[in-house]
Structure 1
Amino acid sequence: MSSLRFLYIGDVVGKAGRAAVSKLLPGLRAELSVDAVFANAENMAHGNGISTDTVNELLAAGVDYCSSGNHVWDNKDGVEYLKRSDARVIRPANLPASNAGRGWMTVEVGTKKVLLINLVGQVFMPQQADSPFSCIDAILKQHPPEQFNAVLVDMHAEATSEKQALAWYLDGRVSTVVGTHTHVPTADLRILHHGTGLVCDLGSVAAADSVIGADKDKVLHRFLTQLPGSLSPAETGEVLFNAVLLEIDPATRQTVRLTRVDRVVAG
């Protein structure tokens, strides 16, 4: 049976990130013969959350579904989008259930069923989130992995140790754990003993001339003065595009190969 081929794109940051996805993705879908494209969308709307327009822009570019993180509620219009029954963006499941949005979704890719789950870490993160370990146990009890051909988890967290620990905890139960949040791609792609794939951070789609996507001069001002100041995305110049190609056996739900897909997009 042919493997499912999913492209998972790192945090898309601001206008520059959205433009790079729109420019690059149609060709990548054909080049890599992907069955579906996922992306982390929490920084799409000028670096702060999502909006209906930015979600639609990403979907039009060829992204099928989005996960997010702790910033997903930063934009009021984005909060309203998350309330929609047809929303194609999910939010961390282990933050309060009263918040807008769903923490997981089931989707169909051709004839195959995929479960997409979003979690946020507890280590070095600003929110007081529930345990991602107990949260995903509850989700998988409600949605047994055996009902799906692939189970994908976006663990939006600061600490690589927490992401690795979650992957080991889920080894054999989910197909792949992808980490997001730091905007820095990691080189630790591997498949654990029982077939769960792991990458601690996908990276981002953001301006190269920046500090994790933010205007470098504003970031430097904060570090040098220790004074508060607003941050905004860098919007000019080359853009670094980070993603990982996931190849999953739909019969066993195991990851069979992980491949980094990193590109530079001219500004």
Structure 2
Amino acid sequence: MKVLVFGDVYGRVGRGGIKKELPGLIKKHKPDFIIANIENITSGRGPIEKHVLEIEDLGVDVMTGGDHFLDNLQSIYDYLEKTDSKLIRPANFYEQSYYKIPGKGYKIVEKNGKKLLVIHLIANTFMKFDVYNPFLKVQEILKSLENEKFDGIFIDFHKETTSEGYGMAYLLDGKASFVFGTHTHIQTNDELILPQGTGLISDVGMNGPLYSVIGADFESVKKRFLTGLGGKIEQNLGNDYVVNGVCVEIGDHGKCETIEKIRIRSKL
């Protein structure tokens, strides 16, 4: 089983890059499933429904949300509540009896005679809000689904630190097929298959403006670097883009066999 995974899609340039490159990548790799993180898809912020549907129409099977998931919640609320929604949120958001966060934190997809489970988690360290312990939450989800049989289990762990990613992968070694990081926007060079067959990469990398500060226009963030003061962050709207991803091959019993990185630089 082959799965294409793409990291954070950032703004107009990221959407354009994915639209341009995905058909060729599908032809080359012939994936059974496609996963993409879309937390920055709308002007570098959380998704609106129009942009969610754009990515869905490209053939993406599962979209994940990240810490910007709630930015435009009103726009995607109804979509998230659909039984066939392809967008999932971090599973470990806190919920209360008086407040329900829409959507689910995992999705089961069946296609091409294969069955894939995708779980989305967000880390605690250096995030802008507190969440339930992701290491406990993932075990709770897997426990609740222990009677189901999957050809592959993929974890999108949205995080800042590499140590959390490695900790999650080792915790799930032999239980999950692939643990991949999103959020830092920089593709890492540490892809690895652990002893019990779980693959990992600290960050898949961003899909967005090539000449940018992780997607943002430098002039809009320069004040923060020079003075420590805030300011509005603007997306870089140049025509140069980078597409980052991985093609992961899963063998018998859900074990990771190969991890092939994807990095394409071109123009819209």
Q: TM-score, normalised by structure 1?
A: 0.95
Whole-Å Cα distance in 1 between the matches of residues 101 and 59 of structure 2? Answer: 28
Structure 2 letter corresponding to 1:141: K
Counterpart for residue 201 of structure 2: 199
User: Of 21, 42, 52, which residue of structure 1 is paired with 2:49?
Assistant: 52
User: What is the CA distance between 1:12 and its match in structure 2?
Assistant: 0.2
Whole-Å Cα distance in 1 between the matches of residues 76 and 211 of structure 2? Answer: 27
Whole-Å Cα distance in 2 between the matches of residues 87 and 73 of structure 1? Answer: 16
> How many corresponding residue pairs?
263
Q: Where do 5+ consecutive residues of structure 1 fail to align?
A: none
Question: For 1:192-231, what aligned pairs fall within 5 Å after superposition?
Answer: 192-231=194-233
Q: Retained in 2: the 8 A contact 1:26–1:62?
A: no
Cα deviation per residue 1:138-184 (whole Å; 9 max; x = unaligned)? 10011128611100000000011001001000000010001000001
Percent identical among aligned pairs is: 37
Counterpart for residue 168 of structure 2: 166
User: What is the CA distance between 1:248 and its match in structure 2?
Assistant: 0.3
The range that moved more, 97-106 or 204-213, is: 97-106
Structure 2 letter corresponding to 1:222: R
Q: Secondary structure at the residue paired with 2:40?
A: coil
Structure 2 letter corresponding to 1:80: D
Runs of 4+ in 1 over 3 A off after TM superposition: none
Structure 1 letter corresponding to 2:39: E
Q: 1:135 to 1:173 in 2, by over 3 A?
A: same
User: Of 238, 241, 252, which residue of structure 2 is paired with 1:239?
Assistant: 241
User: What is the CA distance between 1:96 and its match in structure 2?
Assistant: 2.1
CA-atom RMSD in angstroms:
1.2
Counterpart for residue 87 of structure 1: 85
Whole-Å Cα distance in 2 between the matches of residues 190 and 26 of structure 1? Answer: 27
Structure 2 letter corresponding to 1:167: A
Q: Where do 5+ consecutive residues of structure 2 fail to align?
A: none
Whole-Å Cα distance in 1 between the matches of residues 79 and 42 of structure 2? Answer: 13
User: Of 177, 180, 184, which residue of structure 2 is paired with 1:178?
Assistant: 180
The range that moved more, 234-243 or 165-174, is: 234-243
Q: 1:145 to 1:242 in 2, by over 3 A?
A: farther
User: What is the CA distance between 1:62 and its match in structure 2?
Assistant: 2.8
Question: For 1:1-267, what aligned pairs fall within 5 Å after superposition?
Answer: 4-75=1-72, 76-97=74-95, 98-144=100-146, 147-249=149-251, 251-267=252-268
User: What is the CA distance between 1:78 and its match in structure 2?
Assistant: 2.4
Q: Retained in 1: the 8 A contact 2:62–2:107?
A: no
Structure 2 letter corresponding to 1:85: T
User: What is the CA distance between 1:102 and its match in structure 2?
Assistant: 0.5
Cα deviation per residue 1:216-241 (whole Å; 9 max; x = unaligned)? 11111221122221112112121011
Whole-Å Cα distance in 1 between the matches of residues 222 and 177 of structure 2? Answer: 40
Q: TM-score, normalised by structure 2?
A: 0.95
Whole-Å Cα distance in 2 between the matches of residues 80 and 44 of structure 1? Answer: 18
Whole-Å Cα distance in 2 between the matches of residues 159 and 209 of structure 1? Answer: 24
Structure 1 letter corresponding to 2:230: P
Structure 2 letter corresponding to 1:83: E
Whole-Å Cα distance in 1 between the matches of residues 121 and 25 of structure 2? Answer: 27
Q: Secondary structure at the residue paired with 2:21?
A: helix
